[in-house]
Amino acid sequence: MAEKSHQKILMTGAYGQLGRSLKAICADRGVLCEGRDIDSLDICDAAAVRRWVVDSRPSVVINTAAFTAVDECEAREEQATAVNGTAVGHIAEACNEIDALLIQISTDYVFSGAATNPYRETDTVAPQTAYGRSKLRGEELARTAHRHLLLRTAWLYGRGGRNFVEAIRGQIDSGVENLKVVADQWGCPTFCDDLAAAILDLADADATGTIHAVNSGNTSWHGFAVEIARLLQADVRVVPVATSGFPRPAARPPYSVLDTSRLEKMLGRPMPHWRDGLRRYLET
């Protein structure tokens, strides 16, 4: 795909794993990108959001900021809704004032997780958790932006934060011989570098609407852990266990595989396979 650099991109959540990947790929492509995080911008402050966006006059605003502690959201749903929902409306209003494209990062948690086939963008949403409900509210408000792109993704991992890959690596490094990992939840492990590249390519293609963006292929958390251990050449036994053995405040979706047909049509290619993304992540 021919690259067409937008004049300027603003991004929230700059310190997060996806934010770091976006900053890096923008630098590689020569795209001007200004990132903010909670220390310099509270996205719940409508006036502050408006000043930043309107004064900067970007072509694109990418909102990666979110309250992502799924279990904590159950006890703090009002705060989760403020950050993941209401604040998105503030960003959308500011984008409308300068005709900027709003790219909102959403999640597989807007679905029930009860499907047996990959979720398409048009499938019925039915969040089962406070986190999912708050992110769905964010989707609704993002659609108030005249120009918007909703990207649903899942099972993210990247540099500079806590993620499943580092949790497994940490246990291996601690010397455990048996790793118990849930085997009855399925999804699409997604490397933030690959998602960031897709986001910029979609922006350059003037994509709008709702698109599912995850690495190709799917697996269980157990299968993901087995591949992590294999690539790390770790002498460890990865034991499959049921979700019921790990009760959590927020229900985890049994099936979160997302259909990426629309993404592939827009980009002219699929995102790399999850195993390839994992290999590159561990190499760096």
Residue indicated by tokens 């991992």: 157
Query: Quick check: is 281 catalytic?
Result: no
H or E segment at 11? strand 9-12
Q: Three-state SS for 62?
A: strand
Catalytic residue among 15, 109, 119, 131: 131
Q: Compute the distance between CA of residue 26 and CA of residue 47 in angstroms, rounded to an integer.
A: 27
DSSP 113-171: S--SSPBPTTSPP---SHHHHHHHHHHHHHTTSSSEEEEEE-SEE-TTS--HHHHHHHH
Half-sphere exposure of 143 (CA within 13 A, CB side): 8
Q: Compute the distance between CA of residue 168 and CA of residue 239 in angstroms, rounded to an integer.
A: 13
Could you tell me if 129 and 122 are in contact, meaning their C-beta atoms sit under 8 angstroms apart? no
Q: Compute the distance between CA of residue 247 and CA of residue 227 in angstroms, rounded to an integer.
A: 25
Radius of gyration of the chain (CA): 18
Instruction: Provide the annotated active-site residues.
Output: 131
